[in-house]
Homo-oligomer: A and B are copies of this chain.
Amino acid sequence: MASLPAPDPSDQPDWNLRHIVDELRLSREVRHKIRYLDRIRELPSREVLTNVLTGLSAALFPTHYGQASLTDETIDYFVGHTLSRTLDLLVEQVRRALYFSEPPDALDEAELRRKAIGITRQFAAQLPAIRAVLVSDLHAAYQGDPAATNISEILLSYPGVKAITCHRIAHAIHQLGAPFCARLIADIAHSATGIDIHPAARIGSSFFIDHGTGVVIGETTVIGERVRLYQAVTLGAKRFPVDDNGVLAKGIPRHPIVEDDVVIYAGATVLGRVTIGHGSTIGGNVWLTHSVPPDSNISQAKMLEE
């Protein structure tokens, strides 16, 4: 067979691949090991959970998030089929997540799958109730935003609605015992909306976040009914308690309690396990680290405005 002059090396790049691959293996296995258990486990998938969110949204609001052309005759088949596919996906993600919340000696495969099915079945049973509270949120958005013209616009284009939809799903999954899945769902919502709600936060009905970019709602926050937030509001922790070994204590109540009918304007920061009494209004950019009684009206000091 014919011969050809050796090609210019710059045309066939030599990446020194073998060396890099070896170094990366060394990094993974010896130098900078991060594997939790000795055994490789399949991790929950952000992509699949994104599909789960799409499927659940479509099952809850079929003509808005599913297929616009559904009719009275076809809609139940769509809902049933969409749920069936979505719950199958969710079971597998929950199963993978359980590796991380169960003690290592409980990692029996069949048991984990049974547990994942149980969690998913309980979650599915809650969907009608989740839809009910989401409709209360939609009405809150319609009433709270003078620029809103109809419910469909709110469902399709309000980031605050997307965020609370994801949160109500994530919160249910968190409560049922699959916090890793819940966390991923929360971050999918965060990436799409700029609104960061920890899945453990408890939020009452008729909740509305307007604009929303930069909102942060921490893990142990409790929010009542008919609360309204604006962009860049932080409901955060003031400080992080450490245990006797100087390790951060996890799960201790450290975020605000916001009672019913509170409005918090853009950029306000509320830190620590304080209580905002019902009916209060917190002004924009306010910095608040103590409790306020019901019907308070807190605004920034006057001098700031000059």
Residues of A at the B interface (CB closer than 8 Å) are: 1-4, 6-7, 10-18, 20-21, 23-28, 31-32, 34-46, 59-60, 62-64, 68-84, 87-88, 91, 96, 100-101, 104, 107, 110, 113-114, 117, 120-121, 124-125, 127-128, 131-132, 135, 138, 143-147, 149-153, 155-159, 179-180, 183-184, 186-187, 190-194, 196, 198, 200, 211, 213-214, 216, 218-219, 231-232, 234, 236-237, 240, 248-252, 254, 266-267, 269, 271, 284-285, 287-290, 300-301, 303-306
Given A20-B127, A84-B77, A146-B249, also A191-B193 (CB < 8 A): yes
* B214 near A187: Cβ-Cβ < 8 Å: no
Interchain Cβ contacts under 8 Å between A and B, 10 examples: A3-B37, A4-B38, A14-B73, A16-B124, A21-B76, A34-B138, A74-B80, A77-B77, A100-B152, A267-B267
A54 CB, nearest partner CB in chain B, Å:
11
Q: Are A117 and B211 in contact (CB under 8 A)?
A: no
Are A40 and B131 CB-contacts (below 8 A) given A76-B25, A183-B153, A290-B305? Answer: no
A115 to chain B: closest residue by CB: B10
Residues of B within 8 A of A17 (CB): 73-74, 77, 80, 83-84, 124
Q: With the chains together, A284 CA to B305 CA distance in Å?
A: 13
**How far is it, in angstroms, between the C-alpha of A77 and the C-alpha of B62 when the chains are bound?**
15
Q: Could you say how many copies of this chain the assembly holds? A: 6
User: Which residue of the partner chain, among B37, B125, B157, B214, contacts A231 with CB atoms under 8 Å?
Assistant: B214
Which of B69, B213, B218, B300 lies in contact with A213, CB distance below 8 A? B213
* A69 contact from B2, B60, B88, B193, Cβ within 8 A: B88
Residues of B within 8 A of A15 (CB): 73-74, 83-84, 87, 120-121, 124
Top 8 A-B pairs, shortest CB-CB distance: A77-B80, A81-B81, A32-B135, A23-B128, A42-B68, A74-B84, A157-B187, A77-B81
Bound Cα distance from A242 to B186, whole angstroms: 35
